[in-house]
Amino acid sequence: MRILHTSDWHIGRTFHGNPTLVALSEVLQALVEQVRANDVDVVIVAGDVFDSSTPAAPAYTLLTDTLRALADTGASVIVTSGNHDSAARLGFQSALLREGIHVVTDPLALDLPLTIRDEHGEVDFYGIPYLEPAIVRNTWEGADLRSQAQTIGHAMSLVRTSIQRRGVRSVAIAHCFAVGVEATPGVEREVRQGSLDMVPLSAFDGPDYVALGHIHGRQQLSDRVRYSGAPLHYSFGERDKPRGSWLVDLDADGLAQVEWLPLPVPRRLVVLRDTLDALLTDPAYSGVEDAWVSVEYTDRTPQRDTMRRLQQRFPFCAVVVHVPHGAKVQTTATYRDRLRAATSDEERIEAFLVHVRAEEGASAAERELIREILDEHARAGALV
């Protein structure tokens, strides 16, 4: 049996305020072609299908069109809910979808497998929807569920019991953080330094393959436990992480091989760091003018109207940050202290410039201009 493992589509998500629906549609079309070209039998979508629990109508349209296109290849499709999805809304669609498309959102059904046959016999698929401990704590009588580790551990114990009883090849699907992953801060939004609720790798013992979702980068925790990551880049922090899915082959004895299938990147992401003038004029940057761009300009002092000016060269500039290079070390003196120490208007202006320009005072030309203005002001006052 040939399985394609994907996850974290996040339909409806924006990228720094820009819609991603068109780009994601392009990538999902490529994924459908991979399913067809590789004679995939089962497609697994391991959670976070939507980016919101209340997706807009175009998000539902893209999901429905993609699931139908996948089913048209002849593959069965198994979709589970993630932490971004509303299990109720996602599950509502299950009764409306055609044969061969399965949406799994009920915690009480996680140990009731979907069984699909191949030439070697049956393969059981166990879909575990995202399980928030506070919500499912009382779902199973006698189970102490206060963390993701405990909750997934309990769910997998139910799955293992079913596997042992059934005695056939099996695949589990879950949406969680597992020990050993490298999360992308700002992307996996539940990351909190020092308080991440990790599920031990041993919790996933039992199935022939475990398809995980929740992490946006491709990761292999063992030969049989993997994250596929998201099909689209949703952060500049992800820019160097490949996009794609896992192609998983099961033979008569279980897991046979796993291959990575890369997906196209509609618009690449780059981070540029240089002075504003160089970024606007240097031919070295001509090759990234059509990319999503995050700019860190290194001028000693803040520049005016940076986003507008940069977008004239880089139309898809999404982020601009001032990161001064070689700025003087900040002193402990406060602005009030500097003003109290100033004995003239020229010194007061200098104190203000030092305060707002990262310890950078007036240049020689600026000091000359300041003197001219102060002198002119003094002459005007004397004539009144």
The pLDDT value recorded for residue 193 is: 38
| 87 against 242, higher pLDDT | 242
The pLDDT value recorded for residue 192 is: 41
Dmax (CA) of the chain: 103
Of 69-83, 88-102, 105-119, 165-179, the poorest mean pLDDT is in: 88-102
Q: What is the mean pLDDT of residues 329-340?
A: 64
The pLDDT value recorded for residue 196 is: 55
Of 130-139, 154-163, 294-303, the poorest mean pLDDT is in: 130-139
| 96 against 150, higher pLDDT | 150
Of 19-23, 114-118, 371-375, the poorest mean pLDDT is in: 371-375
The pLDDT value recorded for residue 145 is: 84
Highest mean pLDDT among 10-14, 91-95, 191-195: 10-14
User: Any idea where the domains of the chain sit in the sequence?
Assistant: 2-262, 269-322, 335-383
User: Distance between CA atoms of 236 and 295, rounded to whole angstroms?
Assistant: 11
Write the DSSP string, 299-314. -SS--SSHHHHHHHH-
The pLDDT value recorded for residue 95 is: 45
Residue 28 and residue 62 in contact, taking contact as beta carbons nearer than 8 Å: yes
What are the tokens at 191? 């990351």
Q: What is the mean pLDDT of residues 233-250?
A: 94
Of 160-164, 219-223, 236-240, the poorest mean pLDDT is in: 236-240
Residue 194 banded pLDDT, cuts 50, 70, 90: very low
45-80, pLDDT tens digit by residue? 999 999 888 888 899 899 989 999 999 999 999 999
Residue 252 banded pLDDT, cuts 50, 70, 90: very high
Residue 223 banded pLDDT, cuts 50, 70, 90: very high
Q: What is the mean pLDDT of residues 279-288?
A: 96
Residue 190 has pLDDT above 70, yes or no: no
Residue 317 banded pLDDT, cuts 50, 70, 90: very high
Q: What is the mean pLDDT of residues 376-381?
A: 73
Highest mean pLDDT among 240-249, 321-330, 358-367: 240-249
| 375 against 79, higher pLDDT | 79
| 288 against 144, higher pLDDT | 288
The pLDDT value recorded for residue 269 is: 96
Q: What is the mean pLDDT of residues 279-290?
A: 96
The CATH homologous superfamily of the domain defined by 2-262 = Metallo-dependent phosphatases (3.60.21.10)
pTM: 0.81
| Helix segments in the chain, DSSP class H | 21-37, 57-72, 87-92, 133-136, 148-166, 276-281, 306-313, 335-341, 345-356, 364-383
The pLDDT value recorded for residue 355 is: 74
The pLDDT value recorded for residue 333 is: 61
Tokens 């109207």 identify what position? 305
How does the average pLDDT of the chain come out, rounded? Answer: 87
Give the orientation angle of helix 364-383 with respect to helix 345-356, to 10 degrees.
140
What are the tokens at 151? 């909750």
The pLDDT value recorded for residue 359 is: 66
User: Distance between CA atoms of 266 and 292, rounded to whole angstroms?
Assistant: 10
Of 190-194, 347-351, 368-372, the poorest mean pLDDT is in: 190-194
